[in-house]
Structure 1
């Protein structure tokens, strides 16, 4: 019989989960959400926590329950080609296309943007990102010591500084959240908008890629039964849930009250920098810049390493790990120089397409002990989800693109036939229909064979 982990071990695994999921990029979205949600910050935050914290933990538990050794293994019941494509798309999204470039731009926005004149922001970002990614590539070739050092010292320092900033927000609020009117979709549907905002953290996608790290560490502590691993992951996940939940909610509150003392910001990085300057002046801003730089650097090194390892293993006859690291770093450098706002805008359509596929895969994996990884169930669920998610994908394009006649017809079709489409959830009903159809076909086939 497998052993049960004690509280100390659960705390250790919970801290590991937190460390994997919470990069400096996660700071910017709840702050910006809070500033836009204003008086409706509470329901928006609840929505954010569902996708920003709950889904990632469920993703790791699902991987343990389904006995999957990798994301490829987890998605394989759908189809081998689909598994390869989904794995590549997910790693590229949490890697060189969006998440890695975002680490450099967040560090720049929080750390240096305020000290550089508007005319020199582009050249400033170019030089900053060149230095940032040169260091990232150097340590990606030999990540061991720097990751260990940053994990042991810089992340705790980062959290201590952040805690000081958060405590200051509660002791001496910049304003009252209730006095600021919500904007945009936060007016009528703050909960649903918060759920979609949680997509930006990309943590549910990352959970499918990093689950094996958590599970292997639980196995090292003597737990091998899939159900017991899932239970221990859930217990450890509570630690992560509490830590991330408290920080996200506090950052949302910070954003909601910030308009009482600072101006509105185009993104969370700018807002965080202004709040830090408001409470601690120049010294606080410099210290925050240094900590965020190292936290972002740690995240970038980890992501470059993970992506390069995965691609070199998935395509063993292609280029080497080091060459993948170089390619991914160069791509990240180029995309980073489009700026944080552009990266966020470009990532939205991709996330609107990938998240429904990730969510349905997590649910199917959680149910795998009951449905026994039946291919027909996986295929029908995933197939109809892809169909519906495509419409969410095109609906997330900028308005200038959606003015095309073909786009208008497609969006009108989705608005007519897909319930919840206007809120970004047009995929839910098709996914449920696909699951039920797959389930019925499986049971009918099973009966006819008996």
Structure 2
């Protein structure tokens, strides 16, 4: 395996990950964390970069896709969980978020924000997404190969300009980051959706190495890990840089979301041309990501339904279009509870994959850990949605690490332990 192949696949993976969430959340974290920025961004990187790399490596261990991993709990769980993952990164949140970020960074600075302008932008955006997804061939890959370096150069230029022109000092952290900034950033890293996306993208990386002649398990895992490190370094640089821009923009005004922060920063540093250039590049990046996700969902749901690829692509595109027209802030507000519920389950599933041989792959261990994790994360999701459960909350607050958003961790360990103790008493 040549180092060139490692870098090529590493940058391919970066292109798959690099979408709307990678741009809008770090600036928001920066502006809210203020003087606690470095602790907050460290936690964010742990879940926004570390977990996706670990997940990709976990897929290389099993040489299978996410459904085969989830089937270790139960085939029905595998089907449901995998479907939820694909729907979350697809029409429910991922694709609509990409479209609205493109809209807010390329259209809003010049046309203003209105329902009509959003409608026009998303109509054109999703008609093109559907048409290209019907026969993507190598066009999207070629656009991504050209676009990703240009986008990185644009972000690099923005960060360099921000370093010299936005030296305003950091504001005190908001209440959200005033205590345990690291763990707050850790939970905020969920919002990139990269860890659950990596469960779907992992098999692409594995097959890319197989196509290059990597056959042994050891070399496959090592090569995947190296490619993941390349991706991780690139993502870390981007997150840290644009997060710092957010921290420096705190004194420049108030903003609706991360895309608003970056658009304003580009305007301050480079003028209207900077806003236009950054907006167009980001929109194209979000476009290629959206096409890739439509294709991925089409391929997955074609396998588990009687619908043709064309019909699934049409349904996914229309669903994404309708949700995108609710606006970016609405999408973000509804995505948070779902991701708070899904992420702990995904994390535990990934960790169990690494420890699979230690407990002999006993199904009871998978089930014990996942069931208790799901119970706690389901409560966390409802709480994030604003549903008050005073009696349940009083019990949950007694869990270790609950106050830093990791209340599911000890129950997951306990459930896995119970499953391990009973592995010989049940037929699993």
TM-score where L is the length of structure 1: 0.92
- Residue 440 of structure 1: which of 403, 421, 425 is its match? 421
Distance 1:218-1:369 versus aligned 2 partners, 3 A rule:
farther
Whether the aligned pair in 2 keeps the contact of 1:65 and 1:230 (CA below 8 Å) is yes
- Residue 33 of structure 1: which of 15, 29, 36 is its match? 29
Q: Which residue of 2 aligns with 1:376?
A: 364
Q: Which residue of 1 aligns with 2:348?
A: 360
Whether the aligned pair in 2 keeps the contact of 1:66 and 1:369 (CA below 8 Å) is no
Distance 1:412-1:308 versus aligned 2 partners, 3 A rule:
same
- Residue 284 of structure 2: which of 294, 305, 309 is its match? 294
* RMSD, aligned CA: 1.6
Q: What secondary structure, in the 3-state scheme, does the structure 1 residue paired with 2:139 have?
A: helix
Q: Which residue of 2 aligns with 1:330?
A: 318
Distance 1:145-1:219 versus aligned 2 partners, 3 A rule:
closer
Whether the aligned pair in 2 keeps the contact of 1:66 and 1:366 (CA below 8 Å) is no
Paired with 1:24 and 1:150, the residues of 2 have a C-alpha distance of 17
Q: What secondary structure, in the 3-state scheme, does the structure 2 residue paired with 1:368 have?
A: coil
Q: Which residue of 1 aligns with 2:394?
A: 412
Q: Describe the superposition over 1:379-427 as per-residue Cα deviations: whole angstroms up to 9, x where unpaired.
A: 11111111111111111013xx43xxxx2222233223x2222322111
Q: Which residue of 1 aligns with 2:91?
A: 96
1:79 aligns with 2:54: no
Paired with 1:27 and 1:327, the residues of 2 have a C-alpha distance of 27
Q: Describe the superposition over 1:133-172 as per-residue Cα deviations: whole angstroms up to 9, x where unpaired.
A: 0110010101124302311222221111111111112233
Whether the aligned pair in 1 keeps the contact of 2:340 and 2:377 (CA below 8 Å) is yes
Whether the aligned pair in 1 keeps the contact of 2:71 and 2:77 (CA below 8 Å) is yes
Whether the aligned pair in 2 keeps the contact of 1:62 and 1:366 (CA below 8 Å) is yes
- Residue 269 of structure 1: which of 259, 263, 271 is its match? 259
Q: Describe the superposition over 1:314-348 as per-residue Cα deviations: whole angstroms up to 9, x where unpaired.
A: 22xx2111100100111111111111111001001
Paired with 1:334 and 1:155, the residues of 2 have a C-alpha distance of 28
Whether the aligned pair in 2 keeps the contact of 1:174 and 1:259 (CA below 8 Å) is no
Pairwise CA distance, 1:266: 1.6
1:208 aligns with 2:196: no
Matched residue count: 427
* Gap regions ≥5 residues in structure 2: none
Whether the aligned pair in 1 keeps the contact of 2:21 and 2:193 (CA below 8 Å) is no
Paired with 2:29 and 2:90, the residues of 1 have a C-alpha distance of 24
Q: Which residue of 2 aligns with 1:183?
A: 174
Paired with 1:346 and 1:24, the residues of 2 have a C-alpha distance of 16
Pairwise CA distance, 1:445: 4.9
Q: Which residue of 1 aligns with 2:157?
A: 164
**Higher deviation after alignment, 372-381 or 135-144:** 372-381
1:48 aligns with 2:44: yes
Q: Which residue of 2 aligns with 1:386?
A: 374
TM-score where L is the length of structure 2: 0.96
| Aligned 1:52-67 pairs, distance under 5 A | 52-67=48-63
Q: What secondary structure, in the 3-state scheme, does the structure 1 residue paired with 2:271 have?
A: helix
